[in-house]
Amino acid sequence: MLFNRMERKLQRSAGAEYVKNSPPQGDDIRLGSDLTQNMINIRQYLHDTADFVNKEVLVCGQRVQLLTFEGMVSTANMTEALLEPLLSLRLENPTPQSLLWWMRNEAVLAPEQKEVYSLGELYKALMSGFVGVLIDGVDVAVIAGIQGFAYRSVSEPDSEVNVRGSREGLVEPIRTNMSLIRRRIKSSRLVFELTSAGSTSKTDLCLCYLANMVSPEILEDVRSRLARMDLDMILDSGYVQPFLDTNLSSLFSNVGVTERPDTVAAKISEGRVVVLVDGTPFALIVPYLFSENFQTLDDYAHRPYYASFIRIMKYVSFFFTILLPGAYVAIASFHPELFPEALLFNIAAAEETTPFPLMFEALIIHIIYEIMREAGLRLPRPIGHAVGIVGGLVIGDAAVTAGLIGAPMVMVVALTAISSFVVPSLYEPVTILRFLFIIVGGVSGLYGITLVLCIVFVNLCAINAYGVPATAPATPTKLFDLRDVLIRSSWKTLGRRTLRVQKLPGSEVGDKGGDI
């Protein structure tokens, strides 16, 4: 309605034939000095969207438009920081230029206050929670960061729970995440490089690194990959992840994901680059080594002997979860001589009454387990608990009593399922590999399993994450760098030399990590 009134005013005041302007083309259109024309352009471009709010006020006799999107700014802060100073302003020589000068040099409307010259920059700022100030007679807009949009408060991350260690997790707003990281690395070398991606969503991305630790080659590689992203919408870090992954043909990703700011800080201190994505609490870490899937922050809070024990158990769990069902099927079908006789008798007795071969039993039960796991994940919590109970009954008791599966298979499934949660970051490849090994083991015994293991190993060893071997420092081996792989050495040993990812054995990246 305001827009229509303005248009009619224009028509009246102009006198001359007023030609309705067509909407400005592209985001690079420069702002003009005519406030009314600017407003028309903005309105037209935004298609008169209902959440766009503007207010014209007179400041020292000059027409000023305040622009914002509903719900994006803090009304109280806006009143206190922006409106009150503006409305109470008294200038000796009030002109548009003098008003602009005052805003530039004497006013502190918000901690983040900038000037923008194009419509594109103005839109982006408004949509990021800034307030825009347009002055009639000046072709510049002043934006003030008085964000007040609703977001989830900093809480314990659900996906990475630690016994000791911080309870803070990353949140959706990128700037809050930046502050969480900044608080943990109080170094002048910590750099946050903001960029945006997504032609429609214009999502903020932030590259975080330590200037004196990062490899310039890795950093440049990350930048170029992000620049090559050609997506309309970026709603999650998962959209960005494939573009950062250097080896898409592998089951294992060389981009790490974390929800913890302390983990982000630790990775940055090793010369890695972390990418934050606005709107998602998951940060991406590159390059990411395979052995890091087995490291958690708790390892560094426990004593070395216990931490080493837990670390070894994680590796064992990983192999259990991918190999146990397949090996069980393979041995029972092709190599029963490997079982101790007591176990063999029990398995043979169980197979007397079950209708399916072990391979199909394993496949059926694992598929049922995956269905229930996925169902439990998506359902609301109260119902999710019920699914867990039903699942336990269905698989654990009813299926065995009904003679559909044998009791030993239930134990195998249970152990496999529990083991898979020990290393949650590898859940995806582990699930696929598990099914693959079951099929291969059922078809060709230990020979097939070994062959597939060869393929998986060589595939894993072929991954070079940004020039750093994903299997380093296990292979290529450097004994000193193994201090935090299979075991966790004491702090005396760990602290002897800072790990820099580009200096790992087999790295093809230059190890010059100076200030850039």
Partner 1 sequence: MKRIRLIALLFALCLPLCGCMQAVRLNNRAIVQGIGIDLAEDGYLVTLQIFDAKGGGSQTAVDASKANSMTLQASGRTIAEAISAAELKQGKEIFYGQNKLIVVGEEVARQGLETIISFFNANPQSRPNVDIAMADGRAVDVMTAQISQGVLPVLSVKSLLENSRTSGRILRGQVLDVVDAIENGRLGTFMPILVKSGEGEEETVEVLGTALYRHSQLVGRADEPATRGLLWLRDDVKRTDLVVQHPKLGDVSLAVVRADTHIQPQIVDGVPHFVITCKTRSHINESIVTPENAALFQSITDLERMETDVIRAEMERALELSLRDCGTDLLELANLLDKYQHEWFVANCERYDELLPQFTWELQVSSEITRYGLQT
Partner 2 sequence: MTRNTIISSKQVVLLLVLFRVFDLLTFVPQIGGRQNGATVMLALPFSYLLLALILVPALLLLRGRREGNVVDCALALNPAAGKVLAALLFLFSVFAAADTVSNFEFLLTSAIYPETPSLFFVLTFTAVCLYGAFLGLEPVARVNTFVFVLFVGALVFISASVLPKSDFVYLKNPLQGGLSAVWGHALSAAFSNFDAVLFLLFAPNFKGSLSKCFWGWALLTVAMVEYLVMLLTVGLGDFAASQMFPFYSLAAFADLSIFQRLDSLHITLWTFIAFVKVSVYLYFASQCLGYLVPRRLKKTRLAATGILTAAGALVISSDLRFLTAVQKAMATGIPVAVLAVLIPFVLLLWSLIARRKERAR
What is the amino acid identity at position 251?
A: L
Smallest distance, partner 1 to C-beta of residue 288, A: 22
- Which partner in partner 2, partner 1, none is near 11 (CB below 5 to 8 A by kind)? none
Residue with tokens 């409106």: 83
Which residue, 431 or 459, has its beta carbon nearer to partner 2? 459
Say which entry of partner 1, partner 2, none residue 446 contacts (CB below 5 to 8 A, set by partner kind).
Answer: partner 2
Residue 362 interacts with partner 1 (CB under 8 A)? no
- Among partner 2, partner 1, none, residue 476 binds (CB under 5-8 Å by kind): partner 2
Reference 507, options 457, 466, 460; nearest CA is 466
- Based on CB atoms, which residue is closest to partner 1, 233 or 443? 443
Of 231, 344, 414, 422, the one binding partner 1 (CB under 8 A) is: 344
Q: According to the binding rule CB under 8 A, does residue 445 interact with partner 1?
A: yes
Q: Please, which residues bridge with residue 73 across strands? A: 147
Stretch of 119-127, 277-285, 350-358, 365-373 contacting partner 1, by CB under 8 A: 350-358
Q: Could you write out the three-class secondary structure of 64-88?
A: EEEEEECCCECHHHHHHHHHHHHHC
Indicate which single residue of 219, 244, 268, 350 sits in contact with partner 1 (rule: CB under 8 A). Answer: 350
Question: Which of the listed partners (partner 2, partner 1, none) does 359 bind, with a CB threshold of 5 to 8 Å by partner kind?
Answer: partner 1
Minimal distance, residue 423 CB to partner 2, in Å? 18
Which residue from 402, 432, 454, 462 is in contact with partner 1, where contact means CB under 8 A? 402
- Smallest distance, partner 2 to C-beta of residue 282, A: 27
Phi, then psi, of 66 in degrees rounded to 5: -105, 125
Indicate the residue among 364 and 461 with the shorter CB distance to partner 2.
461
458 binds partner 1 (CB under 8 A): no
Sign of CA dihedral 148, 153, 157, 162: positive
| CB-nearer residue toward partner 1: 88 or 249 | 249
Gyration radius (Cα) of the chain, Å: 30
Q: Distance between CA atoms of 505 and 63, rounded to whole angstroms? A: 65
User: Which residue, 451 or 516, has its beta carbon nearer to partner 1?
Assistant: 451
Q: Which 238-297 residues touch partner 1, going by CB under 8 A?
A: 249
In the chain, what's the furthest Cα-to-Cα distance?
104
Q: Is the CB of 429 or the CB of 476 nearer to partner 2?
A: 476
Rounded Cα distance between 140 and 97, Å, is 10
As given in the structure block, the two tokens for residue 137 are 């007679």
Q: Of 301 and 451, which CB lies nearer to partner 2 in the complex structure?
A: 451
Give the integer Cα–Cα distance in Å for 124 and 119: 9
414 to 443, contacts with partner 1 by CB under 8 A? 442-443
Length of the chain: 516
Query: Could you give the CA distance from residue 131 to residue 313 in angstroms, rounded to a whole number?
Result: 53
Among the listed residues 180, 184, 170, 166, the one whose alpha carbon sits nearest the alpha carbon of residue 279: 170
* Residue 283 or 413 having the CB closest to partner 1: 413
- Decide if 57 contacts 99 (C-beta within 8 A): no
* Buried-state track 426-452, b at ≥16 Cβ within 10 A, e below 16: beebbbebbbbbbbbbbebbbebbeeb
What are phi and psi for residue 100, nearest 5 degrees?
A: -65, -45
In 289-415, which ranges are E strands? Answer: none
Which chain residues interact with partner 2 by CB under 8 A? 331, 334-335, 337-338, 340, 444-451, 453-455, 457-459, 461-464, 469, 471, 474-477, 505-506, 508
Q: 3-class DSSP state for residue 70? A: coil
Residue nearer to partner 1 on the CB measure, 106 or 337: 337
> Nearest-CA neighbor of 295 among 268, 258, 320, 261?
258
Q: Which parts of this chain interact with partner 1 (CB under 8 A)? A: 249, 332-337, 339, 341-342, 344-353, 357-359, 400-403, 407, 442-445, 447-448
